[in-house]
């Protein structure tokens, strides 16, 4: 009977906890770079968050002549107009900055009028496939709602893990989640990628994905705490990580490949969403192994889950003995 192919070296134990200090130092450096970019450059907010007009166009007569389009649209007096080519040479995105209100028009009406001017200037050889117009009031509300959603999701994760395990596990999960979100935001800032509502959805998705992976390891740590009552905590955590490592790597790789297909073939509309997911999957897998598990070793956890409050420091000897 066919049993399948197993490429994972299950009998080999990787001493991951031994490298926790240099790995944490590397992680701290990456976070420093990400935070420095966020505070110095900030995020390149898209139309959703800063307002303006976005038009996705397609040429009916061959590749889009971006230089010719730029010349036509710059003469309309609409301020900053950006034209970006897409994967197909016939497609392009046009972004028009937020328009100021006038005596006759509100900001929203001015935005709509700007989109109408662009549509008229493009001519009959250009098909407009998508138009988005977002006013400053709506963009401000969307930005605030996005921040609240991320914060509430983080608080919910903390409470859930705290309720299911104990406070050390909840804090470790939140630190790992904040790490994933911060690194992803830093990557968007460094690469100057548009950040909009789709990317907020990606952050929430990867937060849930990361905590799911972290809880699997936490469950194994809790099981082993009951099973090996005399094993030093550092060795027990390392054993638990190794026992779930194949599941972590295979699950992350499978998800990565699926999202990578979306990134390559999904088109420009969800390109940044897929990038956030790809980067977040890697960051989430890294933080689960390098941050969440070692944090438990540093702070110590309760060994007897039957109700005794006996706790251990997390720096035991290397030898282990089964209970």
Residues 259, 251: Cα–Cα separation, whole Å: 12
CATH class of 17-44+139-299: mainly alpha
The tens digit of pLDDT for each residue in 26-44 reads 888 988 998 998 888 888 8
Entry pTM = 0.70
Per-residue pLDDT at 139: 60
The tens digit of pLDDT for each residue in 174-206 reads 888 888 888 998 999 898 888 877 888 888 888
Beta strands in the chain (DSSP E): 44-45, 52-59, 81-85, 91-96, 126-134, 194-195
Residues 146, 195: Cα–Cα separation, whole Å: 11
Residues 301, 309: Cα–Cα separation, whole Å: 10
Per-residue pLDDT at 32: 92
Residues contacting residue 206 through CB under 8 Å, at least 6 positions apart: 180, 181, 184, 276, 277, 280, 281, 283, 284
The tens digit of pLDDT for each residue in 268-305 reads 667 888 898 899 888 888 888 888 888 888 877 766 55
Helical pair 20-40 and 167-191, crossing angle rounded to 10 deg: 50
- Whether 17-44+139-299 shares its CATH topology with 52-134 is answered no
The tens digit of pLDDT for each residue in 74-111 reads 777 777 677 777 777 888 888 777 766 666 766 677 77
Per-residue pLDDT at 309: 37
Fold type of domain 52-134 = Alpha-Beta Plaits (3.30.70)
Q: For the chain, which residues make up each domain, given as ranges?
A: 17-44+139-299, 52-134
* Mean pLDDT value across the chain: 76
Mean pLDDT throughout 139-158? 76
| % of the chain at pLDDT higher than 70 | 81
Mean pLDDT throughout 243-252? 83
């Amino acid at each position: 009977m066919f049993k399948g192919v197993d490429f994972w070296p299950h009998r080999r134990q990787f001493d991951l906890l031994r490298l926790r200090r240099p790995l944490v130092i590397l992680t701290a450096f990456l976070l420093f770079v990400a935070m420095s970019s966020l505070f110095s450059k900030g995020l390149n907010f898209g139309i959703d968050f800063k307002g303006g007009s976005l038009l996705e166009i397609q040429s009916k007569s061959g590749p889009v002549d971006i230089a010719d389009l730029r010349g036509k649209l710059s003469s309309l007096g609409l301020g900053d107009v950006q034209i970006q080519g897409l994967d197909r040479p016939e497609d392009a995105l046009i972004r028009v900055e937020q328009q100021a209100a006038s005596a006759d028009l509100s900001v929203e009406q001015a935005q709509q009028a700007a989109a109408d001017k662009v549509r008229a200037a493009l001519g009959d050889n250009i098909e407009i496939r998508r138009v988005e117009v977002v006013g400053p009031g709506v963009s401000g509300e969307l930005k605030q709602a996005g921040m609240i959603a991320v914060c509430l999701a983080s608080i919910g994760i903390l409470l859930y893990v705290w309720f299911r395990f104990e406070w050390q596990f909840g804090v470790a999960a939140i630190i790992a989640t904040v790490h994933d979100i911060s690194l992803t935001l830093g990557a968007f800032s460094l690469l100057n990628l548009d950040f909009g509502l789709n990317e907020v959805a990606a952050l929430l998705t990867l937060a849930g994905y990361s905590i799911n992976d972290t809880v699997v390891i936490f469950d194994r740590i809790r099981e082993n705490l009951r099973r090996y009552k005399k094993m030093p905590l550092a060795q027990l955590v390392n054993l638990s990580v190794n026992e779930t490592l194949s599941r972590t790597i295979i699950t992350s790789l499978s998800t990565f490949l699926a999202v990578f297909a979306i990134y390559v073939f999904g088109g420009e509309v969800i390109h940044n969403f897929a990038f956030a997911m790809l980067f977040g999957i890697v960051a989430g897998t890294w933080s689960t192994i390098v941050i969440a598990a070692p944090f438990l070793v540093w702070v110590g956890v309760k060994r007897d889950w039957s109700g005794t409050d006996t706790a251990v420091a997390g720096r035991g000897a290397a030898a282990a003995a089964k209970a």
